[in-house]
Chains A and B, each alone.
Chain A
Amino acid sequence: MNKEKIEALKERTKQLLLGGGEAALQKQRDAGKMTARERIDALLDPDSFQELGLFVKHQCHDFGMDKKEMTADGVVTGIGTIEGRPVCVYAQDFSVAGGSLGLSHARKITKIMDIAMDMKVPCIGINDSGGARIQEGINALAGYGEIFYHNTAASGVIPQISVILGPCAGGAVYSPALTDFVFVVDKVSKMFITGPEVIKTVLGEEIGMEELGGARVHAETTGNAHFFANSELECFAQIRKLLSLIPHSNEKQTEDRRPACEPKAEYADICKFVPDDPRQPFDVRNIVLGVLDDSDFLEVHQGFAQNAVVGFGRLNGQTVGVIANQPMVLAGVLDIDSSDKIARFIRYCDSFNIPLITFEDMPGYLPGVDQEHAGIIRHGAKVLYAYCEATVPKLTVIMRKAYGGGYIAMCSRHMKADFVYAWPTAEIAVMGPVGAANIIFRKEIKEAADPVAMREQKIEEYKDKFANPYVAAGYGYVDAVINPDDTRKYLIQALTIAQNKHVEPRKKKHGNPPF
């Protein structure tokens, strides 16, 4: 073998692995950020990364670009493993022309996505880019468009994860937005369509980058981010945790099963978390922890629309998606944000064969002009659509309130829940006792010598008769009224019998959900 050629390869590779050069890499580190290759190494199993496309060059000849080298065209792409399971990954290299996106850069990304789709493995994209490479003109735009097309094609086939570790602005934001999970890191991630300067020029509004599109804004206010971390390393640990829970393609399911284990002792007695008075709040996450294996729950969208709780855990070793109303925040109402959060989560689970477990304590929808005018009707409809459309096993536990439209929406029997359980504390009724008594007994209350006392009496009568689980159970809408202590046992039995559930979808191109 010609040794010189091997030495020449080593030298070439060494140069290319420096990305934009030692100085540019140091600048990145000085800004408190890891470099593209450091990120990949920290995310993947040690020594598992195989880089593809290191020698790719840009094809632009305008504006003196033909004389400019752009190492690996500013993006590191390749394959590797996480906990031994294969993944595809790309990381934009900010040290090379600010990670700007040209056509070759984009084609490297779409190529790695093609591999991910063909091989049925997750695709993780680390975004750190100043945006389109303006010298490449509309070819840069073509690049973005091709990435969006691939994101859409891969949706529901393989998990797509976006990690925002730097700026991600303008058109670039829409690739993450099309993917399943967006991870952000405090002080590092910046996402917006139009930046502070444009906003100031056009509207005269002054706002900093962090307040406009920082990590916290997207994790708490906009809901664009699903996971928030305080450091890049914490973020990578979150990604590894998520990938340990979710199936790695839409054709996989049971091989991801782990040995079952009991919830932790401190959560085992779930009754102690539930107050006697149905108007008093409690943290629904304690119930979830009391039911799931090892009391291990990975919350998605933890900071956004906290009146609903969604996330992944295992039940009897199998991954499940949990959806719960959170009485501790806004009494657990459905509003626009929580509807969006719940609906997107259901659709993710259904695409990837993850059974759904719904814990319900639902006082109703949030009243308000702002909610009505911002479209709670069409946003709320997403929850109905997602639950009705889902064909994975659907298990529902009605803990306390299940009133009116909220009762229907939260995976009721009528939307083809497979098993509906209720605790004896459940109140399943067409509306809350106060409102119902006011309408049904309007005449008696009005004509009574003491209307206030009469109203109280009628509310109590209504409560006794209807605010319980037994009316719904009498119609068969609830399958069993259970001791809360037995919740885990019932859910495991239901999940076991639902293993082979198969519903043939109706023939259609696709539905038309209220996006």
Chain B
Amino acid sequence: MEVLRLESGDYQTQLTMKFLKRKPYQKPQNIVSAAIPGTIMEVLVKEGQQVRRGDALCILDSMKMNNTICASDHGVVKKVYIVVGQSVGKDAPMVEFE
């Protein structure tokens, strides 16, 4: 038996695998990373550049599609991790914002 802390108090109970394996919350970082692996076809921003939400950052060829990767918010590009022709794996960082 373990203890589960709830708003209504602490309870003696069993914890499930799913509960134990849940990932602790992490504050999102200012990095756009590859959701799926693929190849970089174009890099559309430079370091120091001001971008607006929705601006295209790069083109990622994956799942037989040239996917346009866009900025999810306004910001200034701090670092570009990718070059044209580069293969990127899942979760690889591509563009970092300040």
Contacts and interface: CB of A to CB of B under 8 A. Distances in A.
Contact of B8 (A202, A204, A363, A370): A363
A32 interface: no
B9 A333 contact: no
Interface string B50-80: 0000000000001100000000000000000
- Most chain A Cβ neighbours within 10 Å, of B8, B16, B37, B90: B8
A196 interface: no
A364 B10 CA distance: 12
Given A202-B37, A205-B90, A432 B8 contact: yes
B63 A363 contact: no
Interface string B1-31: 1001011111111111111001101000000
Contacts of B10: 279
Contact of A330 (B14, B25, B37, B62): B14
A207 interface: no
A435 B7 contact: yes
B13 A331 contact: yes
Given A203-B36, A364-B6, A328 B13 contact: yes
A403 B90 contact: no
A59 B6 CA distance: 61
B48 interface: no
Contacts of B15: 329-330
B89 interface: yes
B7 A279 contact: no
A468 to B, nearest CB: 15
A309 to B, nearest CB: 13
Interface in A372-430: 401, 403-404
Nearest to A459: B9
Q: For the side of the interface on B, what is the size category?
A: 20 to 34
Interface string A330-361: 11110001000000000000000000000000
A367 B7 contact: yes
A493 interface: no
A153 interface: no
A92 interface: no
A210 B16 CA distance: 20
B23 to A, nearest CB: 7
B16 to A, nearest CB: 6
A360 to B, nearest CB: 14
A224 interface: no
Given A328-B14, A330-B13, A370-B25, A364 B8 contact: yes
A302 to B, nearest CB: 13
Contact of A327 (B11, B19, B89, B90): B11
A329 B8 CA distance: 16
Given A333-B6, A363-B6, A280 B23 contact: no
Given A330-B4, A367-B7, A204 B37 contact: yes
B63 to A, nearest CB: 6
Contacts of B14: 281, 328-330
Contacts of A364: 6-8
A433 B16 CA distance: 26
Contacts of A329: 13-16
A369 B4 CA distance: 16
A350 to B, nearest CB: 28
Contact of B16 (A202, A203, A330, A363): A330
A35 interface: no
A204 B91 CA distance: 11
A327 B13 contact: yes
Nearest to B90: A203
A337 B1 CA distance: 21
A496 interface: no
Interface in A263-279: 279
Contacts of B37: 202-204
A426 to B, nearest CB: 14
Given A202-B63, A330-B16, A279 B22 contact: no
Contacts of B36: 202-203
Interface in A153-178: none
A363 B23 CA distance: 23
Q: Which 10 A-B pairs have the closest CB atoms?
A: A432-B8, A331-B11, A369-B25, A331-B13, A363-B8, A331-B4, A370-B22, A281-B13, A329-B14, A363-B6
Interface of B: 1, 4, 6-19, 22-23, 25, 36-37, 62-63, 89-90
Given A328-B14, A370-B22, 16 more contacts: A203-B37, A279-B9, A281-B13, A306-B16, A307-B16, A327-B13, A331-B4, A333-B4, A363-B6, A364-B8, A367-B7, A431-B8, A432-B6, A432-B9, A433-B9, A434-B8
27 contacts: A202-B37, A202-B62, A204-B90, A220-B17, A221-B18, A279-B10, A281-B1, A281-B12, A281-B14, A306-B16, A328-B13, A328-B14, A329-B13, A329-B14, A329-B16, A330-B14, A331-B4, A331-B13, A333-B4, A363-B9, A364-B7, A364-B8, A367-B7, A368-B22, A370-B22, A401-B8, A431-B7
